[in-house]
A = this chain, B = another copy of it.
Amino acid sequence: MIKTVEWTDEGVRMIDQRLLPTEEKYLMLRSCEEVADAIKQMVVRGAPAIGVSAAMGLALGTKQAVGTTVADLEDDFSYFCDLMSRTRPTAVNLFWAIERMRDRFRRAKAETDDTDAVKLALVDEARKIFEEDIASNRALGRFGGELLADNSTVLTHCNAGALATAGDYGTALGVIRGARDAGKRIAVIADETRPFLQGARLTAWELDKDEIPVTIITDNMAGHVMKQGKVDAVVVGADRIAANGDTANKIGTYMVAVLAREHGIPFYVAAPISTIDLSIPTGESIPIEERDAREVTHIREQRLAPEGVAVHNPAFDVTPNALIAAIITDKGVARPPYTTSLQSMFKE
């Protein structure tokens, strides 16, 4: 089982995703600041993995706080929450995890004035978020696996796998693993996903480890392989889903969705309900992160473009709900119209 991020007595342990697939190196992060920095630098990425890591970072920082009263602890905790919320703007799981930790703090504070008990409650909550994420993706994988036919080929964009979540199954790749575990033979075409190459580096790495057949293509080949009839379904993850089903996900997802519709191929989004943001009516209001030009102009130390040339580097785009055949969640499969079907996922 791939362990993306783990709570240990020493600190938060995570695999350095910037170095994969050439190097499999684990980092031990010993402070909340180190975890926040790891999220910002994309040591860890993927909406659910960011949420789990943020919760662990908050628990770690608070555990190390030296204040003797719960009020002191709360000052530190609030500082950590602010720090964490400034790491990445798009994935709602980050804010969801911070909110859940805040809520746990409030409840602990109401129950006790023992700082150790509050610290323990936060560590417990972070571990619970971790475990729930694993379980959610197993559930989502079972629901989504039913949508895939035996002997089919699925195109995916970016990495929405074990490495984008707490570990184990993943979301989009969870659907593929769910189908595989139900006895179906599934092959995968992975868009390499520039600029960070999560497809070529991470999706190919984890599917290869799992012995699921995978073929890498450059992002601009997606239309060509669809036109050749090589793709039966598209499954991608999500960084934030608005109440109407509009979905922010890795840059290029929108393009894949347009191409899928052009070729009559169903386009599925797979995400736990913690990725759904009912407070946002449509995708228009989802903030899109612009990242450093260097991600586009360089591969490690290798320069790819002339010095000083202008670069645009939005990390995400928004796919309108009309292009999405279904949203596969841990509570079931939502179909259009999403305004009602997504809301009903929260009603259990």
Contacts and interface: CB of A to CB of B under 8 A. Distances in A.
B314 A221 contact: yes
Interface in A235-275: 251-252, 254-255, 258-259, 262
A304 B197 contact: yes
A224 interface: yes
Contact of A254 (B22, B219, B224, B296): B224
Contacts of A219: 194, 218-220, 252
Interface stretch (A40-48, A77-85, A199-207): A199-207
Interface residues of A, number: 54
A70 interface: no
11 contacts: A21-B305, A21-B306, A200-B304, A214-B309, A215-B309, A216-B297, A218-B313, A223-B317, A225-B312, A227-B254, A255-B255
* Copies of this chain in the oligomer: 2
Interface of A: 21-22, 157, 189, 191-195, 197, 200-201, 204-205, 208, 213-225, 227, 251-252, 254-255, 258-259, 262, 296-297, 299-300, 302-314, 317
B197 A312 contact: no
A6 to B, nearest CB: 23
A225 B317 CA distance: 9
